[in-house]
Structure 1
Amino acid sequence: MQDLQGKRIVVGITGGIAAYKTIELIRLLRKSNAEVRVVLTPAAAQFVTPLTLQAISGNAVSQSLLDPQAELAMGHIELAKWADLVVIAPASADFIARLNAGMANDLLSTICLATASPILLAPAMNQQMFAQSVTQQNLRQLVARGIHTVGPNSGAQACGDVGFGRMSEPTEIYTALCAVVAPRRDLAHLNVVITAGPTREAIDPVRYISNHSSGKMGFALADAFAERGAKVTLIAGPVNLPTPRNVTRIDVVSAQQMYQQAMQSAVENHIFIGCAAVADYRLEQIATQKIKKTADNDELTLKLVKNPDIITNVAQLREKRPFVVGFAAETQNVAEYAKDKLQRKNLDMICANDVSDSALGFNSEHNALQLFWQNGAESLPQDTKRNLSAQLVEKIIARYNQSSVDNR
């Protein structure tokens, strides 16, 4: 856990069932030696009590903009100046809209308007509210103004809906908070290229072959490297994910397009990470018009040819070869297949996961990895992909540094 000794954090809580999770976030901040002041909106006080938050934070809880005692010293201005960071968890759709409009009609929104310190939002709301174009527009505009966000995650919600809108876990918010208030820039000397997501291999103008990769692991890994100062290039297949902050993104569709971009980028980077689920085959001939179903033909034969193996070709580079990390998504014999791939493709390191478990891997917010390298192995137990990526960066850098020593 990062030491936040001397860091002053204002934790704002808005109205939402996820407010109970913020108690754990405050506990993590206090454990890391941060000083915490809690600000409740009137709606938030219906979900968590000031007495509980006072006991956890070690300080009185602020609730009202018009508190006579606090305002004798202009309390809202004092809190705004005191904070090294303002984190709002949960951040409701209503609060996000008011913040974007520049309103200051309660204590928390006034603090946000009056502070010169960074602000981190952890959105939490019904999945349909989050998907609304106005909510997405509000978030985009806030990010464009320099406000940081983390999440939300996808999953079952208290209302019974399933989708994006669950507040990020306290550990995820804590990690994001540390990256803002006490960023590590120790990897600023490194250039890293990461492939992520699926590829699509066209059959005709309206159909394609693909897979279930969401790109979440690759995007989380790009974010984790960038947060520590690395110059990151992300070669992304067709996914519906926002580009991580300070990451250069190159969008591709097919495996051949990804191959061309990867080979060009590989020689310009210190580390190459093949996290994408690249299609092994493509159509030999793509139909120029939509293939029509006929009444007298119950079968359709498609002839496939191999796509170039991106990770193998990068690993075979003779000049300017980067440190090469592969991924292996398997449904059985995970360790056996991963170690075979490590040797056969001449990789420096491989990260294997079992995608037969629906709670992990493709489309999930969580993952677990088995890492292998020459004469070594380590397991990273199940965690959110964000947290797992931060751990994986540490392991990759350790192996990269060791290989640099070995090759001197």
Structure 2
Amino acid sequence: MTTQSANRLFGRRILLGISAGIAAYKSAQLARLLKQAGCEVRVVMTEGAQAFITPLTLQALTGEAVRTSLLDPEAEAGMGHIELARWADIILIAPATADLMARLAQGMADDLLTTLCLASEAEKIMAPAMNQAMWRHVATQRNAARLAQDGWRLLGPASGDQACGDVGPGRMLEPEAIVAELIQPISEAPHENAPAQGLHVVITAGPTREPLDPVRYLSNHSSGKMGFALATAAAELGARVTLISGPVSLSTPAGVERIDVETALQMHEASRRLAASCDIFIGCAAVADYRAEAAAEHKIKKREGEDGLTLSLVKNPDIIADVAKQRDAAGGRPFVVGFAAETRDLEAYARDKLVRKRLDMIVANDVSAAGLGFGADDNAALLLWRNGEGESGASLPPQPKTQLARAVIERALGCLTPRPVH
């Protein structure tokens, strides 16, 4: 349970607005998490939102009646919408559709939710969610910029698979990521002189999944714990952190922006896009080396008389090497840190990868060691890095991944300037 001293949400009154997007199903989990964080939560739904999730569901989760209409005679007998606008400390709209963003950007008040937004002096936050083409459209981008100027805080959207089948930016942030953005523990807020203050750190974490057919995929045993520990450490040291995560069952660290992906190609696209504007890029994800040349449209069936199955695989892009190449072409950013999970000849393979992929630093660990590596809470590592004086290294003994992550981030910060010559 989060305590008041460590959680800015404890005791806050949050008005959760839900508009008509498929991501509305995530709002139920969001309401539950806000309640767990100690918030009072009341829900307002647009008419269209009720086609995706029922008011009864939100009422059961919050313990409060859900408001859906500006013209509710019983509620408005006492000017209910004004009372609700004054009640809220924070108005959080999730999902916020392109239509709702457009109406709010123009100052419209044609339903209960938009009316409350205009009538309230509460802190205003929204999590956009829409098709990737709608998000990229010049009108939506103009509306997003206008809303930011008007004092709205926009969380996301994230990039990845969408319900319509498209892939790209427009996914609503996961409920855990939204709460993490809001909760920002006061006791852990970065000091203005924190060593990573002003830096943008991008980290990949977890496995990737490469579909073979609608029910099977190629993957690995990565839990994502090390990447998430790195994200936590970087945020605590003052950095702005973006975490590109494969499918894991971990909560987003406080203060960290999370982008969920499934496949290596999706992780590659997100990494190249973000690497262009970050200071440190850490490739901690266990990316599948190969994917199916063509995933089967239907489930692959066993055939009588055939004892084997032949799969045609193609190589996935080398994300960390491509980021390093992108850095060289752009003139020196970001500082690139790679990971090497090995089962033998740890130092030899790590040194080869450091040079061959033109990395600035590498973190190598022996995943065959008992109690360390994939899925474990502890790890040990060999750190190798390059600077103006050549190559240096250090061995980190077995320790909790949280401590190891802190050591890795601090070493990367120490190497950031001066940069090695490639």
1:141 aligns to 2:35 (yes or no): yes
For residues 19-73 of structure 1, what are the alpha-carbon distances to aligned partners after superposition, in whole Å with 9 as ceiling and x for unaligned? xxxxxxxxxxxxxxxxxxxxxxxxxxxxxxxxxxxxxxxxxxxxxxxxxxxxxxx
How many equivalent pairs are there?
Answer: 251
1:253 aligns to 2:249 (yes or no): no
Q: Do the aligned partners of residues 251 and 119 (structure 1) sit closer, same or farther apart at CA in structure 2, a change above 3 Å counting?
A: closer
Structure 1 residue identity aligned to 2:5: S
Structure 1 residue identity aligned to 2:275: A
Counterpart in 2 of 1:285?
294
Structure 1 residue identity aligned to 2:6: P
Q: Do the aligned partners of residues 182 and 190 (structure 1) sit closer, same or farther apart at CA in structure 2, a change above 3 Å counting?
A: closer
Structure 2 residue identity aligned to 1:349: M
Distance across 2 between alignment mates of 1:119 and 1:231: 19
Q: Do the aligned partners of residues 359 and 276 (structure 1) sit closer, same or farther apart at CA in structure 2, a change above 3 Å counting?
A: same
Structural mapping, 1:235-254, within 5 Å: 235-254=244-263
Which of 401, 408, 419 lines up with 1:385 in the alignment? Answer: 401
> Would you say the 8 A contact 1:274–1:327 is kept in 2?
yes
Counterpart in 2 of 1:319?
330
Distance across 2 between alignment mates of 1:325 and 1:215: 16
Counterpart in 1 of 2:285?
276
Counterpart in 2 of 1:352?
364
Distance across 1 between alignment mates of 2:215 and 2:193: 46
Counterpart in 1 of 2:373?
361
1:402 aligns to 2:418 (yes or no): yes
Distance across 2 between alignment mates of 1:205 and 1:184: 50
Counterpart in 1 of 2:117?
none
Distance across 2 between alignment mates of 1:236 and 1:271: 16
Q: How much does 1:138 deviate?
A: 7.3
More displaced 10-residue stretch of structure 1: 201-210 or 313-322: 313-322
Counterpart in 2 of 1:25?
none
Structure 2 residue identity aligned to 1:232: V
Local SS of the residue matching 1:389? helix
Unaligned runs of 5+ in 2: 9-29, 41-184
Counterpart in 1 of 2:349?
337
Distance across 1 between alignment mates of 2:186 and 2:398: 22
Q: Do the aligned partners of residues 207 and 353 (structure 1) sit closer, same or farther apart at CA in structure 2, a change above 3 Å counting?
A: same
1:198 aligns to 2:207 (yes or no): yes
Q: Do the aligned partners of residues 140 and 355 (structure 1) sit closer, same or farther apart at CA in structure 2, a change above 3 Å counting?
A: farther
Distance across 1 between alignment mates of 2:5 and 2:296: 56
Counterpart in 2 of 1:118?
6
For residues 224-254 of structure 1, what are the alpha-carbon distances to aligned partners after superposition, in whole Å with 9 as ceiling and x for unaligned? 1111221111000011110111111110000
Structure 2 residue identity aligned to 1:259: H
> Would you say the 8 A contact 1:118–1:180 is kept in 2?
no
Distance across 2 between alignment mates of 1:264 and 1:256: 12
For residues 94-149 of structure 1, what are the alpha-carbon distances to aligned partners after superposition, in whole Å with 9 as ceiling and x for unaligned? xx4xx8xxxxxxxxxxxx6xxx63369xxxxxxxxxxxxxxx99775343759xxx
Q: How much does 1:179 deviate?
A: 3.6
> Would you say the 8 A contact 2:190–2:238 is kept in 1?
no
Counterpart in 1 of 2:22?
none
Local SS of the residue matching 1:352? strand
Distance across 1 between alignment mates of 2:370 and 2:212: 28
For residues 160-182 of structure 1, what are the alpha-carbon distances to aligned partners after superposition, in whole Å with 9 as ceiling and x for unaligned? xxxxxxxxxxxxxxxx9974697
Q: How much does 1:184 deviate?
A: 6.5
Structure 1 residue identity aligned to 2:250: L
Local SS of the residue matching 2:198? coil
For residues 290-328 of structure 1, what are the alpha-carbon distances to aligned partners after superposition, in whole Å with 9 as ceiling and x for unaligned? 000112111000011100000111111201531100000
Structure 2 residue identity aligned to 1:392: V
Distance across 2 between alignment mates of 1:218 and 1:264: 19
Local SS of the residue matching 2:417? helix
Distance across 2 between alignment mates of 1:246 and 1:210: 29
Local SS of the residue matching 1:401? coil
Counterpart in 1 of 2:272?
263
Local SS of the residue matching 2:340? strand
Give the alignment's TM-score, normalised by structure 2: 0.55
